Every structure is written in C-alpha cells, then in structure tokens.
A and B are shown apart, each in its own frame.
Chain A
Amino acid sequence: MLRAMPGPGPARRPTTDAAVVSQDIVRLPVPEQLLVPLLRGRQRVTVAAGDRVMAGEIIVAPVDDHAVGALAPLDVVVSGERTIGTATALVLAPLAGALPGPVLPPPGDDPAALIRRVRAAGVRGYGGGGFPTFLKLREGRERAIRCLVINAVECEPELASDAALLADDAVGVLAGARAAARAAGATRIVLATAHPDTASATMLSGQGVEVLGIEAGYPGGDERMLAPHVTERRLATGERPTAAGVLVLNVATVHAVGLVAAGLVPCRRFVTVLADGATSRCVVDVVMGTPVSEVLRLVGPAPHDSMTSEGGRMMPRRIEDPSWPVSPTTTGIVVSPSIPTAEQPCIRCGLCVPVCPVDLAPDRIWRALESAATEDARPLGVEACTGCRCCDVVCPSGIALGAAFRRAAADLRESDSMAAAAERARVRFERHEARAQARAERARERRPRRSTGGSRGAVEAIVARARKRRSRSDAGRADLVRHDRSGPGDDE
C-alpha cells in the first residue's frame, strides 16, 4: 500500500464512512421513458420517431472531433425529441421486458477498436466532469502514460455513489481497469480511495492493483491533486495529469469501459440522493435516462421553495426542470432550500488564499473581476480554477467566487478564440492586399507601353493579342480549360 499524503486546504469535511457503504442500495426499475440529452450542433440523431431500435444500435453519432455518440441501452421505440429548458433530448420508450445484456461482439484487444467503441457508446466522465473518456484514453496513449489511477476518492461530502459501486461490483471495476489500461498503454494500475481497508480494496490489491489511501478531505479527489501522489511530481498550473505520465479515471467510468469491452452498453449508474429533511441519504441504482423527478419520488415531495441540483453540496449544478434525466455526470441529486445569498463587498481578509487547492489568490482575482478587468485575472491564473468553491465556503462576505471565476475563464476562452480568428483574418487580408498591389503594379507597367507607342503601338498591341489567342486555341482544349480555371485578373 502506498503512503498517503495529507490532503490540501483547510476546507476539510469528512467523506463517507466505510460502514455506511454496506447500507442497502435501492434498485430502481427501468422507467417508462428514457431521455438522452443531445449537444446541438455537435451530435446528430441517426434514428427517427417511430423507429424500433435494438440494444446496442447507434442512435446518436458525433459530428465534431470531440463529441461522443450514443447507443441504445435497451430495446426501445424512438418517441421523438423533446426540449427541456434550453436543451434537447431524444426520448426513447423501452419495450416491455427489455433487459440489458451483451448485445455487441466485444471490440477485442485492439486499443483503437475499444476507444472507438467507448466513443460510440457515449462514455463520459462519471465523476461529474463529463469529459469524453475516449479522448482521455487516446491522449494517454499519445503521451505514453505509465499509470492508470482509478479515482474512488469521492471527496464530495456525503456522496457514496462510488463507494457503492466498489462494494457492489469490484470485479467489474477490475475488468474495466485492465481494459482501460490496455487501451491507454498503462502498465501500472492504482486505486485511489479514502477507505483502503474495505473488502473490495483488499480484493483489488490481491489482483495486482496498488491501493493508495487518501486522507479524507475536499477537494482531494480532483485528478490534479491525485497525480502527485503517484508520480511525486507537482503539476504546473494548467497541466493535465497525462503530462506526468498518469491517467486518472473515475471508478464508475472505469467500470463503464469494462462493460464496453465486454460488448455491453453501459446503462445504469449509482446516484446518491441527498434531501434535507426526508430520508437523509440513500444510494440508488438507476438507469441513465431516467428523469430526476422519478428518482426524487423515493424521497417524497420537495419542500416548497427548494432547489434541485446535480452533483454534491460543494459543486452543485442546478437542475431547472425536474424532467432532466440522470446522465453519466449525475453523481448525486441534492434537494436543498434555496437561500437567497446576500453578498457583501470583499474586505480583502485573505482567508480564501490558503484554502485554494491550486494555489491561486482568489482575493486578487476577485478584485480584477470587480473592476471589469477580466484580462488582469489571466496572469493570476483564473483559468486554472477547478471550481471547487472552497473559497466560497470560507468567504465571510458570502461572495460566489467559484461561479464568478468559471464565468471569467469562459469569457477569456471566448475572447481568445475571437482574437485568434481576428489574427487569421488579418494575415489573409495582408496577403490579399499584397496580391492586389502586385496586380496593380503590373497593370501600371503595361500601360506606358500602350500610350508611348501612339495609335500605331495600340494597333500593334491589339494584333499581337489576337495572334496569341489564336495560337492558344490551336494548342488544344486542355490548355483552354487550364487557363479558364484561373480567375479574372489572375496573371500569376
């Protein structure tokens, strides 16, 4: 067992107890409707309303290089598309009695084939980030990583989804880890967990997986915080773990890769439901695509004036419409009272500085953003902000720093891409102008010959041009076509 290093930041909160993991998991049945969220412009639906689709068939195809697709998780009938808020989702009606099972021939040992299938199945980060897993595996291979880290730290307080998976199907996790390691080219597999003494961890340790015990604390589960434990090399601001030879995947993602490698379509995940008041916490095993409202039926009606979020209490993502489906990024569902926040001005107390896990100075970044100088926030590292909101928690003025920093990072990315496009346009314009100048030069050179020769010179010039044209047409059709292809005024 590797030695654990203390976690970062004083925003420590206890994560789940190992004892809690053995509680009963509620298994939800297949719902009447499954919703598959679509990324407009980046994904393309390949089926039509009314189509009968068998499990494993392609229902969504990626359009750009970074998008993923989707496969039918069960035998379904396509109902159509539906708008939820500002997003669109494909609606599927599972056929009665449909059960998931191996539906496709396994992709085999070829890493490229597995990566392609992982992409087609729509596997994304199950830890909440939702980043396309095929891109991570491919990057791992390209950067010749040596170590695959199974991230089961689950530092979000009160979440027990990953712990439930490890307890429920450690064998599946092992199979997935081996497949992912093969695909990414890793020779070493490490399980990072806050509970290294559970039966699952012991079993994995016996199968050649190194178990790394991480001290409980938020945000210790962030992949950038895990990589140094394995490589003993700190990542520079903005560097990804693959730069240090490490690929970190959430344990549920690893499990999903294992399913894909076995010819299955990943269709279920564990979700921790946290509701203030009601049954304090329960872990459900639910089919992805089930509307959140169906899951919440378990915990009773939401109190008036509460809000529902996906994720955990530290990094919640608000769900505006409860018919939004459970997806790979739904690690938890939190129902909490919506408290209006009264933000006071920043008093520059500096308490936010020591808690930042990526060594930023939130007070100075906030001051730059307050004076609408977003560009000044760039050298302060706002783009490296992980959005963990540790600074939010300690701020005595109650400022929503995390949200503001993510917005600022998005604004900077947008202004960067606009600046790059403008630069490209400028270069093309300069070349265009240079050609126009050259053309004008040549035209000016030609004109004096005409005027100095007088009318006789003009007639000679016309005759010479006519002769040239005739000889050109005699040279054959091919020449004509070649000349025709050049645009007007193009003498190059």
Chain B
Amino acid sequence: MVRVLLALLPALLAQSAAFGPWVAMQVLAGVMGALIAEVVVLSLGQRSVPVAAGDGSAAVTGALIGLCITPLAPLWVSAAGAAAGVVIGKHAYGGLGRNPFNPAMVGYALVLVSFPAHLGSWPAAVGMGEIDAITAATPLDVARHAELARVLGIGVVVPDSDPWPWIGAAYALGGAWLIAVRAADGWLAGGLMLGVVITAGVLHLLAAGHDPLFHLLHGAVLCGAFFIITDPVSAPAGRRARLIFAMTAGALTVAIREFGGYPDGLAFAVLLANAMGPVLERVFGGTAR
C-alpha cells in the first residue's frame, strides 16, 4: 500500500502544477477523513488497531478521493467522501479483503450524487495569463457542451492549455512502476485502457463519439486504469475474468461519457463492473489461472 501512495506522487505533483496547491489540501483532507473513519470503525472491532490500520488501505482510498475531487470544493467534501468510502465501501462488507466494490469509487459516487454542485467545476489550468483563476468546464464538459452549442448555435470558450494529458501521463508513470514491481496487475490496467479505446474507436467510426485518444488522455481513465481498477479486492480472480472485467469497465466509461448524464463515467462504470465481478469470476475464472 505504501508503494501505491509513492506511485501517486507524480500525479499529485502534476495536478498541483496544473491546478494549484489546493490539490494537496484536498488529498490531505481525504486521507485524514479516511484514517479517522478507519480508526473509529476498527476500534469497535476486535483486531488490534495499530496493526489493522497500518496496512495503508484507508490512506490510499483517501488520497484517491482527494485527487478525484476538484480543488475548488470545500475540504469537508473530500473528507466526507473518504470517510463514507471507508465505512460503507469497505467495513460494511467485512473490512479489508472483503469488499466487492472499490471503496474510493463508492465514496466518490456518494459525494457526487449528494453534492453535485460542489463537484461541478474544475479550475482552469494555470498559465492562462494574468487572471488568477477562472472556473471553466473540463475538456470533457467542453466536449459535451460544444456539441450542444453547435446544435444550438452558441459559441463556447475553449481553454488553450489542456493539462489533462500531462496529468494522465503522470498517473501512467506511477502506475507503470507499480506494475513493474508487481504491486498492480497489468492485465487490469491494460484491460481498462483497451476497453476504452475499442469502445471509443467503434463509436468514433460510427461518428457517434470522440476519438479514442481523447477518451484515453482526458478525465480519469489513466488514473482509473492504474490506480482504481487495479484494486485486487474488488476485482475477480483469474486472468481471463480480470481482463473482461476491466474491459467492461472501460466500455461503460465511454458509454456513460457519450450517452449518459455525467461528464466522466469512470466511477459508475467501475462500480457497475464491480457488481459483475463475482459472476465473471464464476464463469471465466476457471479453477486455476
């Protein structure tokens, strides 16, 4: 788990460089919220708190939620989301190793549907001139609204610098290291990206969606591929089952993005794939690898 936190550092730096130092505060708020919730729940149980809390899984959940939540939101949103993720997404199912859903995504989804306004906007990337801050839609939002604007005949401002591909690359860097030291399963990461690319590619060919590269590099796909879908607890066992699981999540991400109500569908796509996990394991898992 400590290695996962280390691997998130490049992404933390990239996101801070793009959106300002408040990113780090959100991460801190998330980690604090998660750890406090973890200690409270563990002390209600019978296992030794220092040993059980020391496994670092809550900290990872908190950090991921902090990174996924816009720096413009109040800090309590990250803390609350992280705490909810740890309690409802992990401990309610029996604690470490027993949760069928990804705790970070559970927390994020809860916060997203509870406080949609707070999660609405990301800051414009630093480097747009003398203006201190502009709230602007993310490129994904822009893409949606650009379509709508085209239909309605309204002009839309598109920011020049787009930090998201760089942030994605930072996630990929940390993630690639995790795969190299065998702390993450490459089949899950690759499967998600493959699912995204294939689905986006098909839709793009049918002129119903954006090009695959856009989908891959924007939003949380790269973060999701290396840090979210790779949570081994909520993934099915068996290489084949894992590949299908991750590809399904990728396909659903693109589908929700293109046809659904949210600009970034990764969280719900992952949760839906988690729900399919046990069935996939039973059908495709086999008895050994």
A interface list, Cβ under 8 A from B? 342, 344-351, 353-354, 356, 359-361, 363-364, 379-381, 397
The CA of A304 and the CA of B57, in the complex, are separated in Å by: 36
Q: Shortest CB–CB separation between residue A165 and chain B, in angstroms?
A: 37
Please choose the segment from B90-98, B111-119, B190-198 that sits at the chain A interface, where 4 or more of its residues have CB less than 8 A away.
B90-98
List chain A residues, Cβ under 8 A from B97.
345-348, 397
List chain A residues, Cβ under 8 A from B285.
364
The CA of A350 and the CA of B242, in the complex, are separated in Å by: 11
Chain B residues numbered 48-66 whose CB sits less than 8 Å from any CB in chain A:
51-52, 55, 57
Q: Shortest CB–CB separation between residue B103 and chain A, in angstroms?
A: 12
Taken residue by residue from 251 to 276, chain B's Cβ proximity to chain A (1 for < 8 Å, 0 otherwise) reads as: 00000000000000000000000000
Would B232 and A348 count as touching, CB distance under 8 A? yes
Would B237 and A361 count as touching, CB distance under 8 A? yes
B interface list, Cβ under 8 A from A? 51-52, 55, 57, 95-98, 182, 185, 232-233, 235, 237-238, 285, 287-289
Would B289 and A353 count as touching, CB distance under 8 A? yes
Q: Shortest CB–CB separation between residue A254 and chain B, in angstroms?
A: 34
List chain B residues, Cβ under 8 A from A359.
288-289
The CA of A354 and the CA of B289, in the complex, are separated in Å by: 8
Q: Shortest CB–CB separation between residue A323 and chain B, in angstroms?
A: 37
* Residue of B with least CB distance to A353: B289
Would A381 and B185 count as touching, CB distance under 8 A? no
Q: Shortest CB–CB separation between residue B204 and chain A, in angstroms?
A: 34
Most chain B CB within a 10 A radius of its CB, from A346, A349, A356, A363? A349
List chain B residues, Cβ under 8 A from A380.
287-288
Contact A347-B288, Cβ < 8 Å, known A342-B51, A361-B238? no
List chain B residues, Cβ under 8 A from A346.
97
List chain B residues, Cβ under 8 A from A364.
237, 285, 287
The CA of A353 and the CA of B288, in the complex, are separated in Å by: 8
* Residue of B with least CB distance to A380: B287
Would A348 and B288 count as touching, CB distance under 8 A? no
Instruction: Identify which of A347, A351, A354, A379 contacts B233 (C-beta below 8 A).
Output: A347
* Residue of A with least CB distance to B287: A380
Q: Shortest CB–CB separation between residue B94 and chain A, in angstroms?
A: 9
The 4 lowest CB-CB distance pairs between A and B, nearest first, are A345-B97, A349-B232, A348-B232, A361-B288
11 interchain pairs (CB within 8 A)? Answer: A344-B96, A346-B97, A348-B237, A349-B232, A351-B182, A360-B288, A361-B237, A361-B287, A364-B237, A364-B287, A381-B287
Contact A344-B55, Cβ < 8 Å, known A349-B232, A379-B287? yes
The CA of A359 and the CA of B289, in the complex, are separated in Å by: 8
Q: Shortest CB–CB separation between residue B269 and chain A, in angstroms?
A: 21
List chain A residues, Cβ under 8 A from B288.
353, 356, 359-361, 380-381
The CA of A344 and the CA of B95, in the complex, are separated in Å by: 11
Q: Shortest CB–CB separation between residue A357 and chain B, in angstroms?
A: 12
Given A347-B232, A361-B288, list of 6 further CB < 8 A pairs?
A342-B51, A347-B233, A348-B97, A348-B233, A350-B237, A361-B287
The CA of A353 and the CA of B51, in the complex, are separated in Å by: 26
* Residue of B with least CB distance to A363: B237
The CA of A349 and the CA of B96, in the complex, are separated in Å by: 12
The CA of A380 and the CA of B288, in the complex, are separated in Å by: 7
List chain A residues, Cβ under 8 A from B289.
353-354, 359, 361
List chain A residues, Cβ under 8 A from B238.
361
List chain B residues, Cβ under 8 A from A344.
51-52, 55, 96
The CA of A288 and the CA of B233, in the complex, are separated in Å by: 49
* Residue of B with least CB distance to A367: B237
The CA of A356 and the CA of B235, in the complex, are separated in Å by: 21
* Residue of A with least CB distance to B281: A364
Would A347 and B96 count as touching, CB distance under 8 A? yes
List chain A residues, Cβ under 8 A from B51.
342, 344
* Residue of A with least CB distance to B95: A345
The CA of A346 and the CA of B237, in the complex, are separated in Å by: 12
Instruction: Identify which of A345, A353, A361, A381 contacts B96 (C-beta below 8 A).
Output: A345
* Residue of B with least CB distance to A397: B97
Q: Shortest CB–CB separation between residue A236 and chain B, in angstroms?
A: 13
The CA of A381 and the CA of B238, in the complex, are separated in Å by: 15
Most chain A CB within a 10 A radius of its CB, from B51, B235, B237, B288? B288
Instruction: Identify which of A350, A360, A361, A379 contacts B185 (C-beta below 8 A).
Output: A350
Most chain B CB within a 10 A radius of its CB, from A347, A351, A353, A363? A347
Q: Shortest CB–CB separation between residue A7 and chain B, in angstroms?
A: 18
List chain A residues, Cβ under 8 A from B98.
345
Q: Shortest CB–CB separation between residue B165 and chain A, in angstroms?
A: 30
Q: Shortest CB–CB separation between residue B99 and chain A, in angstroms?
A: 10
The CA of A351 and the CA of B182, in the complex, are separated in Å by: 8
* Residue of A with least CB distance to B238: A361
* Residue of A with least CB distance to B235: A348
The CA of A356 and the CA of B55, in the complex, are separated in Å by: 25
* Residue of A with least CB distance to B188: A350
* Residue of B with least CB distance to A346: B97
* Residue of A with least CB distance to B285: A364
Q: Shortest CB–CB separation between residue B288 and chain A, in angstroms?
A: 5
The CA of A354 and the CA of B285, in the complex, are separated in Å by: 15
* Residue of B with least CB distance to A343: B51
List chain A residues, Cβ under 8 A from B185.
349-350
The CA of A351 and the CA of B232, in the complex, are separated in Å by: 10
Q: Shortest CB–CB separation between residue A459 and chain B, in angstroms?
A: 76
The CA of A350 and the CA of B235, in the complex, are separated in Å by: 10
The CA of A345 and the CA of B42, in the complex, are separated in Å by: 14
The CA of A346 and the CA of B232, in the complex, are separated in Å by: 10
The CA of A345 and the CA of B57, in the complex, are separated in Å by: 12
Q: Shortest CB–CB separation between residue A364 and chain B, in angstroms?
A: 5
The CA of A79 and the CA of B237, in the complex, are separated in Å by: 58
List chain B residues, Cβ under 8 A from A363.
237
* Residue of B with least CB distance to A361: B288
Q: Shortest CB–CB separation between residue A224 and chain B, in angstroms?
A: 15
* Residue of A with least CB distance to B98: A345
List chain B residues, Cβ under 8 A from A342.
51
List chain B residues, Cβ under 8 A from A397.
97
The CA of A397 and the CA of B182, in the complex, are separated in Å by: 15
The CA of A380 and the CA of B285, in the complex, are separated in Å by: 11
The CA of A351 and the CA of B57, in the complex, are separated in Å by: 18
Q: Shortest CB–CB separation between residue A46 and chain B, in angstroms?
A: 48
Most chain B CB within a 10 A radius of its CB, from A350, A363, A380? A350
Q: Shortest CB–CB separation between residue A263 and chain B, in angstroms?
A: 49
* Residue of A with least CB distance to B185: A350
List chain A residues, Cβ under 8 A from B235.
348
The CA of A356 and the CA of B289, in the complex, are separated in Å by: 10
Q: Shortest CB–CB separation between residue B183 and chain A, in angstroms?
A: 8
The CA of A344 and the CA of B233, in the complex, are separated in Å by: 13
List chain B residues, Cβ under 8 A from A361.
237-238, 287-289
List chain A residues, Cβ under 8 A from B233.
347-348
The CA of A364 and the CA of B285, in the complex, are separated in Å by: 10
List chain B residues, Cβ under 8 A from A379.
287
The CA of A381 and the CA of B287, in the complex, are separated in Å by: 8
The CA of A397 and the CA of B52, in the complex, are separated in Å by: 11
The CA of A359 and the CA of B239, in the complex, are separated in Å by: 14
* Residue of B with least CB distance to A344: B55
